[in-house]
């Protein structure tokens, strides 16, 4: 179907159709092309080419007497082969820098803030996965008594506090014992990768100090939730931007999206296969694997902590999105975020 590599002229026409459609949101006609972009050929020739591009699956016609619109595979070819990469505009670069300069030093908030920034700049919906614990190093655990038989266990990792959980005990335990236990753990496990610390090792330490099994449970739970193999949290922002897009004049579309954003699950599925990979990804329309998102696209780029990608930063918008610009924007933002994390010098 689309075996034959596009010859240069066809490629240029396809690229131009995508470009024009992204700009105007109107199906693009053969005349528009010849008038606004000076290809040296007549509209009739363009019509012939477009008919072939349609037969090959790159374009579609909303109805017989309308202009052409790119299909998923039209966009795909555009993104993979035709578009000119863009650099981040100076204005955007400055806004990112200014905005993140006085951002919080706390990881969670820093990510939230970055997400909002990206939503604003992209005028789309932005979502960012928070780092999962796997790559984190255990730094410190602290058991604190806050009422006779109730305490709180706090696990600190190389990114800052990553879990806290309340626990109740069957019998009183002295504050002193809690401190001794905390210290023993810290001495033993500091700077180990958190997911390497096994339940048996934990039990061993508790037993050594002759403390109750209750405590072992409490600690295991806290460590568990610090490394929770579950879905990472996902921050999102900018849903309202989507409303400006003509494709959302139909309210039902929007409903699916709002629901999807609220259940983080589907968002996660979208980025899961790109998770912590090193390269930007673009998913277009049906590639998202969800019929409700069929006319949307997502660009996803990683952000790093030191040498490792620890989370993904994504922009969700209409399929008709300015791919090059958003890729530059997402990359730039990811870059700044990574920089900011490195500065914290943890």
Partner DNA sequence: CTTTGGCACTCCTGGCTCTGGAGTGCTAAG
Partner DNA sequence: CTTAGCACTCCAGAGCCAGGAGTGCCAAAG
In the complex, the residues that contact DNA under the rule CB under 7 A are 26-27, 29-32, 40-45, 47-48, 50-51, 54, 61, 63-68
CB 251, min distance to a second copy, A = 6
CB 343, min distance to a second copy, A = 10
The torsion angle over the Cα atoms of residues 164, 168, 174 and 175, rounded to 10 degrees, is 20
Q: Which of 214, 257, 247 is nearest to 318 (CA)?
A: 247
Structure tokens at 179: 């401190």
SS3 assignment, position 161: strand
CB 45, min distance to DNA, A = 3
**132 contacts a second copy (rule: CB under 8 A):** no
Q: What is the spatial distance between Cα 139 and Cα 50, in angstroms, rounded to a whole number?
A: 61
Q: Which is nearer to DNA, 9 or 116 (CB)?
A: 9
Cβ atoms within 10 Å of 36's Cβ, excluding its own: 14
Cβ neighbors of 12 (< 8 A, separation 6 or more) are: 39
CB 46, min distance to DNA, A = 8
Q: Which of 166, 170, 171, 172 is nearest to 144 (CA)?
A: 166
Candidate residues 47, 51, 247, 248; the one interacting with a second copy per rule CB under 8 A: 248
Candidate residues 43, 61, 89, 165; the one interacting with a second copy per rule CB under 8 A: 165
**DSSP tag of 328:** H
Structure tokens at 224: 């568990």
Choose the binding region for a second copy from 60-68, 154-162, 268-276, 316-324 (rule: CB under 8 A): 154-162
Q: Which is nearer to DNA, 8 or 80 (CB)?
A: 8
The angle at the Cα of 145, spanning 141 to 148, to the nearest 5 degrees, equals 155
**Cα-to-chain-centroid distance, residue 117:** 13
Q: What is the spatial distance between Cα 99 and Cα 73, in angstroms, rounded to a whole number?
A: 37
Q: Which is nearer to a second copy, 237 or 298 (CB)?
A: 237
CB 76, min distance to DNA, A = 21
65 interface partner picked from DNA, a second copy, none, CB below 5 to 8 A per type: DNA
Candidate residues 113, 122, 135, 142; the one interacting with a second copy per rule CB under 8 A: 142
Q: Which is nearer to DNA, 51 or 346 (CB)?
A: 51
Beta bridge pairs of residue 303: 311
Q: Which is nearer to a second copy, 26 or 244 (CB)?
A: 244
Q: Which of 122, 123, 82 is nearest to 327 (CA)?
A: 122
SS3 assignment, position 310: strand
Q: What is the spatial distance between Cα 234 and Cα 131, in angstroms, rounded to a whole number?
A: 9
Q: Which is nearer to a second copy, 35 or 240 (CB)?
A: 240
144 interface partner picked from a second copy, DNA, none, CB below 5 to 8 A per type: a second copy
Q: What is the spatial distance between Cα 61 and Cα 237, in angstroms, rounded to a whole number?
A: 33
Candidate residues 26, 230, 262, 273; the one interacting with a second copy per rule CB under 8 A: 262
Q: What is the spatial distance between Cα 35 and Cα 71, in angstroms, rounded to a whole number?
A: 23
CB 154, min distance to a second copy, A = 6
**158 contacts a second copy (rule: CB under 8 A):** yes
Candidate residues 11, 41, 82, 144; the one interacting with a second copy per rule CB under 8 A: 144
Q: Which of 149, 187, 152, 145 is nearest to 166 (CA)?
A: 152
CB 1, min distance to DNA, A = 17
| Residues near a second copy (CB under 8 A) | 105-106, 116, 139-140, 142, 144, 146-147, 150, 152, 154, 156, 158, 160-161, 164-166, 168, 237-240, 243-244, 248-249, 251-252, 254-255, 258-259, 262, 344-346
């Amino acid at each position: 179907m689309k075996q034959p590599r596009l010859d240069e002229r066809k490629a240029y026409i396809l690229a131009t159709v995508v470009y024009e459609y992204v700009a105007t949101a109107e199906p693009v006609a053969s005349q528009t092309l010849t008038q606004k972009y000076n290809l040296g050929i007549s509209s009739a020739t363009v019509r012939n080419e477009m008919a072939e591009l349609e037969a090959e699956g790159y374009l579609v016609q909303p109805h017989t007497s309308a202009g052409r619109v790119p299909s998923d595979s039209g966009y795909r070819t555009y993104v993979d082969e035709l578009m000119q990469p863009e650099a981040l505009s100076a204005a955007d670069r400055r806004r990112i820098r200014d905005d993140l300069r006085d951002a919080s030093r706390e990881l969670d908030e820093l990510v939230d803030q970055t997400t909002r920034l990206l939503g604003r700049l992209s005028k789309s919906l932005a979502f960012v996965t928070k780092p999962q614990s796997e790559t984190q190093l255990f730094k410190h655990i602290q058991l604190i008594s806050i009422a006779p038989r109730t305490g709180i266990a706090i696990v600190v990792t190389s990114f800052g506090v990553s879990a806290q959980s309340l626990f109740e005990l069957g019998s009183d335990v002295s504050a002193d014992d809690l401190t001794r236990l905390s210290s023993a753990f810290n001495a033993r496990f500091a700077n180990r990768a958190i997911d390497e610390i096994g339940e048996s090792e934990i039990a061993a330490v508790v037993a050594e100090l002759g403390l109750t099994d209750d405590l072992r449970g409490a600690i295991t739970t806290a460590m568990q939730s610090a490394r929770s193999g579950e879905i990472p949290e996902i921050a999102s922002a900018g849903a309202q931007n989507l409303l400006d897009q003509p494709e959302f004049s139909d309210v039902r579309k929007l409903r699916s999206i709002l629901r999807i954003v609220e259940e983080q699950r589907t968002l996660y599925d979208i980025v899961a296969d790109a998770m912590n990979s090193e390269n930007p990804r673009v998913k277009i329309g049906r590639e998202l694997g969800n019929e409700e998102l069929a006319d949307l696209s997502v660009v996803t780029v990683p952000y790093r902590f030191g040498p490792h990608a620890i989370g993904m930063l994504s922009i969700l918008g209409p399929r008709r999105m300015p791919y090059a610009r958003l890729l530059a924007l997402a990359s730039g933002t990811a870059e700044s975020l990574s920089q900011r994390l490195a500065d914290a010098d943890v």
